[in-house]
């Protein structure tokens, strides 16, 4: 996991597989961002090749938590198979999904 922060948003980059075994680490990192009042997050999933159902659940839970605090979580998904997972589960209706970092960043700069 790589984290970078600037005044308008934080970028939370994940890689590999998001599995039950690493959910607690992801949960702790997102919770720390929330506690620091960093309410706008870009979760970069370009290097993620698999997300388990618990991983999807944690993203949805934090999307709700950040939205309730006038923040947002946006996703970067480049992989077509991963994007298809979000479409099949209809999570593409909940999340704003972008193909690259620059597109997601632009939405927080305006």
**Per-residue model confidence as pLDDT tens digits over 65-101:** 999 999 999 999 999 999 999 999 999 999 999 999 9
Q: Kindly tell me if the per-residue pLDDT of 109 is higher than 80.
A: no
Model pLDDT, residue 88:
97
- Quick: pLDDT tens for 35-55: 988 889 999 999 999 999 999
The DSSP code sequence of 19-69 is -GGGHHHHHHHHHHHHHTT--EEEEEEEEEEEE-HHHHHHHHHHHHHHHHT
User: pTM of the entire structure?
Assistant: 0.92
Check which CATH number belongs to the domain holding 97 and give it: 3.30.750.24
- Number of domains composing the chain: 1
Q: How confident is the model at residue 108 (pLDDT cuts 50, 70, 90)?
A: confident
pLDDT at 110: 56
């Amino acid at each position: 996991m790589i984290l970078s922060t600037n005044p308008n948003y934080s970028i939370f980059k994940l890689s590999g597989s998001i599995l039950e075994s690493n959910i607690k680490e992801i949960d702790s990192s997102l919770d720390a961002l929330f506690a620091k009042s960093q309410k706008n997050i870009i979760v970069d999933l370009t290097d993620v090749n698999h997300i388990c159902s618990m991983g999807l659940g944690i993203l949805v839970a934090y999307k709700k938590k950040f939205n309730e605090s006038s923040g947002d979580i946006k996703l970067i998904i480049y992989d077509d198979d991963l994007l298809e997972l979000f479409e099949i589960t209809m999570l593409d209706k909940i999340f704003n999904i972008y193909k690259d970092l620059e597109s997601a960043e632009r939405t927080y700069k305006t």
